[in-house]
Amino acid sequence: LLPEARPDVEALDAGLEDLLARVDEFVGMLDMIRGDSSHVVSDGVPRIYAQAAAMRRIYSRIDRLEAFVRMVGGSVARMEEQVARAEAHLGTFPSAFKKLLHTISAPSLFSRASSPRRQPSGFEAPVVFRTEDHFPCWSERPQV
Give residue-wise pLDDT tens across range 10-55. Answer: 889 999 999 999 999 999 999 999 888 888 888 888 999 999 999 9
Q: What is the pLDDT of residue 144?
A: 44
If you ran DSSP here, which 8-state letter would residue 105 be given?
T
79 contact partners, CB below 8 Å, separation of at least 6: 126
Give the number of residues written for the chain. 144
Instruction: List pLDDT tens digits, range 80-108.
Output: 888 888 888 877 666 666 666 666 654 45
How far, in Å, CA of 129 to CA of 126, rounded? 10
- Inform me whether the pLDDT recorded for 70 exceeds 90: yes
What pTM does this model have? 0.47
